Amino acid sequence: MQNRTDMSNPSGYQPVFLGKQLKVALPQPGPLFKNDLARLDGSRSYILKYPHHSVVLSKTRKFPLFTAVNIDGANFQPLTRKSLFNGGSDKWEVDPRVQPFQWGDDLYSVPKSDFDRGHLVKREDPQWGPNKETAIEAARATFFYANCVPQVADLNQRVWRNLEDYILKKESATNKLKVNVLTGPVLAADDPVFVNQIKGQDVQIPGLFWKVVYFTNDGKTLSRVAFLMGQKKLLLEREIARPKPTEGLEGLLPQPRFFMNFEDAATYQVNVDMVEHLSGLKFAPALDPYTDTRPSKIVLKEVELESTERLPGRPSLGFELEGIVLKN
């Protein structure tokens, strides 16, 4: 098995994946980011294409502005993470097509880098195809730093991860659904600053992450739901990052009303317009089943597994998520 990913002719995210009449175009950057898109080397394009997914980078922040992935639950291939690379260990790569516009291992290996390499396109989401070879190539392509943002492990491995698993395994794979998932950090002007400079540069660590899921229940109506996760409070409490002075940034900060009833270090279901306002992106229109004006907290609840789900030598407790509305 090879360790490197072939990027000679990747398919990328497909807008008509759910159907010709259910097109989900890539988000459109607003005024704050129109001139901040990282162009591919020697090209006018700013869309990084990988198998079944695409990434758009901010050239100033060197993090993704957003990612977009097509998930085909009917053709999902169950593969272990260790099976992707020789030796069983992750192999993260800098994408040479946009080498100057991404933070590499230097950000994740210095003192106080107490965070995970957080996949934005979840490793398993593009892990589908007619055979395992296709799925392996797609899953391996998520290990580019262009698809990576620092995430505090508590959030990356708990509620946010359970939300991603819910979308992929409980909804998409189980029901053999096709789903489009868009994900990104909120690249805010007042994001906290990592306590150590990287190559003489300050690095602002995103404090909020969003996810917008597009799906259809009947093949005719396009629906979408949105989620936000916060980590700013943990970054500051653990002294991983320091506050960014806000003097002179007033016109670039979101309106306070978008943070009413929003608690840091938690995951919430929210209206899509909140994500649009915070991210500076415009999303493809669709029916919004969730229309509550208040963010709904996603609760990770410990539950007793059914006897058929218990495995020898494993605890009988499992987890479920409360407060999610994915269906009309």
Q: What is the pLDDT of residue 153?
A: 81
The neighbouring-strand residues paired with 224 are 214
Sign of the dihedral defined by the CA atoms of residues 220, 291, 29, 155, in that order: negative
Ramachandran angles phi, psi of 51, nearest 5°: -60, 115
Kindly report the pTM of this predicted structure: 0.87
Q: What is the pLDDT of residue 328?
A: 45
Q: Per-domain residue ranges for the chain? A: 28-298
The neighbouring-strand residues paired with 72 are 178
Q: What is the pLDDT of residue 86?
A: 79
Non-local CB neighbours of 222 within 8 Å, separated by 6+ positions: 18, 22, 24, 214, 215, 216, 286, 287
Q: Show the low-confidence residues of the chain (pLDDT under 70).
A: 1-9, 155-158, 169-175, 248-265, 298-328
Range 28-298: architecture per CATH: 3-Layer(aba) Sandwich (3.40)
CB 215 within 8 A of CB 168: no
Q: What is the pLDDT of residue 297?
A: 72
Q: What is the pLDDT of residue 315?
A: 40
Ramachandran angles phi, psi of 164, nearest 5°: -65, -40
β-pairing verdict for 53-57 and 64-72: antiparallel
d(CA 25, CA 231): 29
H or E stretch covering 225 = strand 223-230
Non-local CB neighbours of 2 within 8 Å, separated by 6+ positions: 86
Q: What is the pLDDT of residue 173?
A: 63
